[in-house]
């Protein structure tokens, strides 16, 4: 009986994961991008601006990711010490939240600016 229930449970998880995953027709479009735009349909100026914007995002995001990696390392060292300094850990945790928010805002701004570039195509 337990094997049968386990098998049913695994099957249900499989079905749910198939429905949640993006398919070929629905490639997980961002809410700001209501319809997909082919990169080849853009003008050379739009392509250049999009590539510059992408490079800018990657540079800024790499900086945030490096700071996050260093912070996680410090947090691990702090918690693995014999007498963890919880005040220091809390401060690092707050900094981690700030960095995640900074990354979220950065990506949101990137999508907004990308959307503006794409909309200039139709004007």
Average pLDDT over residues 106-122: 86
User: pLDDT per residue over 13-68, tens digit each?
Assistant: 766 666 555 555 544 444 444 456 677 778 889 889 989 999 999 999 999 999 99
Taking alpha carbons only, the member of 13, 28, 42 closest to residue 114 is 42
How is residue 62 written in tokens? 């790499």
Rounded to an integer, the average pLDDT of 107-117 is: 92
Q: At what angle do helices 86-119 and 44-80 cross, to 10 degrees?
A: 170
Q: What is the pLDDT of residue 10?
A: 64
- Average pLDDT in the 105-118 region? 92
Q: What is the pTM of this model?
A: 0.62
């Amino acid at each position: 009986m337990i094997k049968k229930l386990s098998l049913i449970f695994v099957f249900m998880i499989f079905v749910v994961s198939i429905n949640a995953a993006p398919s070929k027709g629905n490639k997980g479009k961002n809410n700001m991008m209501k319809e997909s735009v082919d990169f080849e349909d853009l003008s050379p100026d739009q392509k250049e601006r999009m590539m510059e914007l992408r490079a800018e995002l990657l540079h800024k995001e790499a900086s945030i990711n490096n700071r996050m990696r260093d912070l996680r390392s410090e947090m691990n060292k702090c918690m693995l010490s014999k007498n963890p300094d919880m005040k220091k850990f809390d401060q690092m945790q707050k900094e981690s939240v700030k960095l995640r928010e900074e990354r979220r805002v950065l990506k949101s701004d990137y999508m907004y600016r990308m959307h503006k570039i794409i909309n200039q195509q139709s004007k």
